[in-house]
Structure 1
Amino acid sequence: MTRSSDISVHLLEHLRFWGIYSSNMDEVYRVHIANVSLIIYAKKNTLLDTNYRYFNIMLLAA
């Protein structure tokens, strides 16, 4: 990033750097979003299972 203000670095080198940088950031975001989605899915399923068990207990007690 510090080399971006250096005039002696060719435009092709700038483009190559930004291409690699954007590809890496894209991969990071995909991995993080996938992890967050899995956490939300797991919490939702846990909540549904808990509610289902409670509902069955209430039905059996009645």
Structure 2
Amino acid sequence: MLNRFHVWFPGGIVIGAILGWLIMDVLGLSWQVMVGALFIPLVIYGVLFFGQKFLLPNEFS
């Protein structure tokens, strides 16, 4: 399962670079909009992790 995340690592760099280029150069928006775009995956990851149960280390269980 972890392999799927590693496969998308280069894709994320490319997608982020294209998004940054579109925001800054093509659309001419400010750097604040580009920083605000970072919250999109943050919210997605937050929704994915919400409700997940994580294992405790052996000394605490």
Bucket of the pairwise TM-score, normalised by the shorter protein: 0.3 to 0.5
TM norm structure 1: 0.35
TM norm structure 2: 0.35
Bigger Rg over Cα: 1
